[in-house]
């Protein structure tokens, strides 16, 4: 059982047995077979910790995994397929931070791809942030992309309304019109 077969990792039991041989039979614990019960618990904790480190889906490892350029976009379909809602929410928060921090430098084509991704995986906060960015893009550069037609009509309409609101706000602040009298204030 101690010998490893080629290409296969030894079982946990084999690892424990080999560690016990390295430690020695009696380390003052007083167990009947010479092994420490404290060591057994420590090994179980260590094994659990190793398993945590090996999984990209555990909370402490998410930042490590997501630092790579497109990893998050590869993991999102898996999180959706396996219905890991908490993990999917973590991914959404990560994507949301990316859009908010780079909103001015995102191209029209990139924002369309992000909107399609948000729609597909039902990431509402991410979608709202992407629509906000899209509403500030030039109309022609946004709508001439063939992928723009793939965006749902509801989302296209929401982008238009957001843009319209921004134009109204700009108009009101520049012209400073009194809506009741329809006269310019001086």
* pLDDT, average across residues 80-94: 90
Whether 42 and 73 share a structural domain: no
Share in percent of the chain as helix, strand, coil (round to 5): 65, 0, 30
The rounded distance, in Å, linking the Cα atoms of 98 and 106 is 10
Tally of CA atoms within 13 A in the half-sphere of 58 that contains its CB: 10
105 occurs within a structural domain? yes
Instruction: Give yes or no: residues 132 and 162 share one domain.
Output: yes
Q: Is there a domain that residue 51 lies in?
A: yes
CB neighbours of 73 closer than 8 A, spacing ≥ 6?
A: 117
Give the model's confidence band at 71: pLDDT under 50 very low, under 70 low, under 90 confident, else very high: confident
| Of 83 and 131, the one with more pLDDT | 131
What letter would DSSP give residue 1?
Answer: -
Q: Is 84 in the same domain as 161?
A: yes
Total count of domains within the chain: 2
Same domain, 43 and 81: no
Instruction: Please tell me whether residues 99 and 46 are part of one structural domain.
Output: no
Q: Quick check: is 121 in a domain?
A: yes
As beta bridge partners, residue 177 has: 184
Torsion of CA 83, 84, 88, 91, to 10 degrees: -140
* Residue 51 shares a structural domain with residue 75: no
Pair (162, 90) in one structural domain? yes
Residue 63 lies in a domain: no
Of 93, 94, 107, give the one whose Cα is nearest residue 67. 94
Q: Do 171 and 109 reside in the same domain of the chain? A: yes
Whether 44 maps to a domain, the answer reads: yes
My answer on whether 51 and 74 are in the same domain is no
Kindly state whether residues 91 and 52 are assigned to the same domain: no
51 and 80 within one domain: no
φ and ψ of 53, to 5 deg = -70, -30
Poorest-confidence range of 64-73, 77-86, 177-186?
177-186
Indicate whether 97 and 164 sit together in one domain: yes
Q: Is residue 170 part of a domain?
A: yes
Containing structural domain, residue 137: 69-176
Question: Is 183 inside a domain boundary?
Answer: no
Domain presence at residue 163: yes
Long-range contacts of 136-141 (CB under 8 A, 24+ apart): 136/103, 136/163, 136/166, 137/108, 137/111, 138/108, 139/163, 141/108
pLDDT digits (tens, 9 = 90+) for 106-139: 999 999 999 999 999 999 999 999 999 999 999 9
Distance of CA 61 to the CA centre of its chain: 12
pLDDT tens for 88-109 read: 999 999 899 999 999 889 999 9
Measured in degrees and rounded to the nearest 5, phi and psi for residue 171 equal -60, -45
């Amino acid at each position: 059982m101690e010998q490893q077969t080629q290409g296969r990792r030894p079982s946990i039991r084999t690892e424990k047995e080999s560690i016990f041989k390295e430690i020695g039979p009696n380390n003052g614990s007083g167990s009947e077979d010479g092994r420490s019960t404290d060591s057994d618990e420590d090994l179980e904790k260590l094994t659990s910790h190793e398993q945590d480190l090996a999984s990209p889906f555990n909370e402490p490892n998410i930042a490590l995994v997501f630092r790579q350029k497109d990893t998050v976009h590869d993991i999102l379909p898996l999180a959706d397929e396996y219905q890991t809602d908490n993990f999917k929410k973590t991914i959404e928060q990560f994507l949301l931070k990316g859009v908010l921090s780079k909103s001015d430098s995102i191209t029209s084509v990139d924002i369309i791809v992000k909107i399609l991704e948000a729609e597909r995986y039902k990431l509402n906060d991410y979608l709202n942030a992407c629509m906000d960015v899209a509403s500030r893009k030039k109309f022609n550069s946004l709508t001439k992309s063939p992928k723009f037609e793939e965006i749902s009509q509801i989302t296209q309409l929401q982008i238009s309304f957001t843009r319209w609101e921004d134009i109204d706000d700009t108009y009101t602040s520049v012209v400073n019109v009194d809506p009741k009298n329809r006269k310019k204030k001086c």
